Structure 1
Amino acid sequence: MLKRLAAMGVLAASQMLLALLLYRSAFEAYRQVVGGIRRDISYGLQLHHSLYLFGALALFNAIWQMSCRSRRSGVIGACACMLLWTLFWANAFASMPYRSLLVVGIGTLVLALPALALLFRFARPGSVAVPQPGIAS
């Protein structure tokens, strides 16, 4: 039980760190290539508040992915997180479409990674050879 909780915590923390790292890297690369960006206080406040939301979504996603019993369940949980993340940023697309697309794209990518890894967790029926009792291999 403790091992499972630790795995959920590591998965949630890695999602948050990966999202932060990707956003900072992409933002810095854009700033180096294009130059200064427009400072918008409402966008900065939304970005600040989104850190809390993304942390909650990453935690929920980690718990869901570690607790699900099927691929479909894992995909549904990841899609629910990605939908909430996109809806949170829907209002910012009108004023800053590129930065909003960057944040939403990175968030959905990072939230989808555990569901993609989930595909490797479940084997297709018949693909794994199961030894049968009484038959020597």
Structure 2
Amino acid sequence: MIQRLLAMALLASVQILLAFVLYHSAFEAYRRMFGSVRRDISYGLQLNHSLYIFGALALGNAAWLLSCRSRRSGLIGFGICLLFWTAFWANAFASMPYRSLLVVGVGTLVLTMPLLVLLLRFRGPGLVDDVRPGSAA
């Protein structure tokens, strides 16, 4: 039980850290290539509040994926987290489409990361061992 909770906390922390690093790296690269960006206080406030929401979604996504019983259940959990994340940013697409697309894209990329855990957990029977003809099994 404790190990599962620690795994969920670690996976959620890695997701949050990865999202933070990817967003700031992409933003800095854009700023260096194209110059300064428009400063909008409402966008900055929404970005700050999104850190809390993304943290909750990352924790929920990690908990759902590490405790699900099937691939379908994991995909449903991921879809729900992705829907909430996209809906949170829906209002910003009209005023700042590129920055909103960047944030939603980074969030989507990071939220899909635990799907790799899900795919590794539910491998098909033919994918477990790599047995080549002529080799001893």
Give TM-score scaled by structure 2 length.
Answer: 0.90
> How many residues of Structure 1 are paired with residues of Structure 2 in the alignment?
130
CA distance in 2, matches of 1:99, 1:127: 40
Tell me the equivalent position of 1:89: 89
Q: Deviations over 1:9-45 (max 9, x none)?
A: 0000000000000000000000000000000000001
CA distance in 1, matches of 2:27, 2:127: 43
Q: Distance in 1 between matches of 2:126 and 2:92?
A: 48
Match of 2:132 in 1: none
TM-score (norm 1): 0.90
Counterpart of 2:89, as a letter, is W
> Following superposition, which runs of at least 4 residues in structure 1 exceed 4 angstroms of deviation?
126-129
Letter of the aligned partner of 1:2 in structure 2? I
SS of match in other structure, 1:89: helix
Aligned match of 1:134 = none
* Deviation, structure 1 residue 116: 3.0
Tell me how far apart the structure 2 counterparts of residues 111 and 69 of structure 1 sit (CA, whole Å). Answer: 19
Q: Provide the rounded CA distance (Å) in 1 between the counterparts of 2:14 and 2:65.
A: 14
Whichever residue aligns with residue 18 of structure 1, its letter is L
Please give the alpha-carbon distance, in whole angstroms, between the structure 2 residues aligned to 1:123 and 1:43.
42
Amino acid at match of 1:94: A
* Equivalence for 1:12: 12
Q: 1:63 is matched by which residue type in structure 2?
A: A
Q: What's the C-alpha RMSD, in Å, of the aligned pairs?
A: 1.3
- Partner in structure 1 of residue 63 of structure 2: 63
- In the superposition, relative to structure 1, how do residues 128 and 116 fare at CA in structure 2: closer, same or farther (>3 Å)? closer
Unaligned runs of 5+ in 1: 130-136
Deviation at 1:128, TM superposition (A): 4.3
